[in-house]
A and B are shown apart, each in its own frame.
Chain A
Amino acid sequence: MSTVGPPAAEPARDWPLWEVFVRARRGLSHVHVGSLHAADSAMALQHARDLYTRRSEGVSLWVVRAADIVAASPDEHDAYFDPAGDKVYRHPTFYDVPEGVEHL
Chain B
Amino acid sequence: MPESGRVGPSSASSAARTIGYRGGMYGTDFGPEGEPAETGPDPEEFLALIAGEGRVEPRDAMPAEYRSTLVRQIAQHAHSEVIGMQPEGNWISRAPSLLRKAILMAKVQDEAGHGLYLYAAAETLGVDRADLVEQLQAGQQRYSSIFTYPTLTWADVGAIGWLVDGAAITNQIPLTRCSYGPYARAMVRICKEESFHQRQGFQILWTLQHGTTAQQQMAQDAVDRFWWPALMMFGPPDAESPHTRQSMAWGIKRVTNDDLRQRFIDMTVPQATQLGVTLPDPQLRWNDERGHFDHGPIDFSELYDVLRTGGQCGTDRIAHHVAAHEEGAWVRAAATAYAAKRAAPASGRGEVA
Residues of A within 8 A of B (CB): 6-7, 11-17, 19, 32, 34-37, 39-40, 43, 50-51, 54-55, 66-67, 69-75
A74 vs B37: C-alpha distance in the bound complex, in angstroms?
9
Minimum Cβ distance to chain B for residue A31 (Å):
11
A14 vs B189: C-alpha distance in the bound complex, in angstroms?
24
Does B117 reach chain A (CB closer than 8 Å)?
A: yes
Minimum Cβ distance to chain A for residue B240 (Å):
35
Q: Cβ of B31 and Cβ of A71 under 8 Å apart?
A: yes
Q: Give the chain B neighbours of A6 by CB distance below 8 A.
A: 333
Does B128 reach chain A (CB closer than 8 Å)?
A: yes
Does B298 reach chain A (CB closer than 8 Å)?
A: no
Q: Give the chain A neighbours of B8 by CB distance below 8 A.
A: 12, 16, 67
A15 vs B12: C-alpha distance in the bound complex, in angstroms?
11
Q: Cβ of A54 and Cβ of B113 under 8 Å apart?
A: yes
A40 vs B337: C-alpha distance in the bound complex, in angstroms?
10
Q: Cβ of B12 and Cβ of A12 under 8 Å apart?
A: yes
Q: Give the chain A neighbours of B113 by CB distance below 8 A.
A: 50-51, 54
Q: Give the chain B neighbours of A11 by CB distance below 8 A.
A: 329, 332-333, 336-337
A66 touches which of B26, B57, B329, B336 (Cβ 8 Å): B26
Q: Cβ of A39 and Cβ of B336 under 8 Å apart?
A: yes
Does B353 reach chain A (CB closer than 8 Å)?
A: no
User: Which residue of chain A is the closest to B109 with respect to CB atoms?
Assistant: A54
Does B32 reach chain A (CB closer than 8 Å)?
A: yes
Main DSSP-derived SS at the B contact region: helix
- How many residues of chain B are within 8 Å of chain A by beta carbon? 44
A55 vs B59: C-alpha distance in the bound complex, in angstroms?
31
Residues of B within 8 A of A (CB): 6-10, 12, 25-32, 34, 37, 57, 59-60, 106, 109-110, 113, 116-117, 120, 123, 128-130, 185-186, 189, 193, 329, 332-333, 335-339, 342-343
Q: Which of A11, A13, A43, A75 has the largest count of B CB atoms less than 10 A from its CB?
A: A13
Q: Cβ of A13 and Cβ of B30 under 8 Å apart?
A: no
B339 touches which of A40, A55, A73 (Cβ 8 Å): A40
User: Which residue of chain A is the closest to B8 with respect to CB atoms?
Assistant: A16
A34 touches which of B12, B27, B193 (Cβ 8 Å): B27
Q: When A40-B342, A54-B109, A67-B8 are in contact, do A17 and B27 touch as well, CB less than 8 Å?
A: yes
Q: Give the chain A neighbours of B32 by CB distance below 8 A.
A: 71, 73
User: Which residue of chain B is the closest to A73 with respect to CB atoms?
Assistant: B31
A15 touches which of B30, B59, B109, B336 (Cβ 8 Å): B336
A73 vs B37: C-alpha distance in the bound complex, in angstroms?
10
Q: Cβ of A12 and Cβ of B120 under 8 Å apart?
A: no
B27 touches which of A13, A35, A54, A70 (Cβ 8 Å): A35
Minimum Cβ distance to chain A for residue B111 (Å):
12
Q: Give the chain B neighbours of A71 by CB distance below 8 A.
A: 29-32
User: Which residue of chain A is the closest to B329 with respect to CB atoms?
Assistant: A11
Minimum Cβ distance to chain A for residue B243 (Å):
26
Q: Give the chain A neighbours of B332 by CB distance below 8 A.
A: 11, 15, 39
Q: Cβ of B116 and Cβ of A66 under 8 Å apart?
A: no
Minimum Cβ distance to chain B for residue A67 (Å):
5
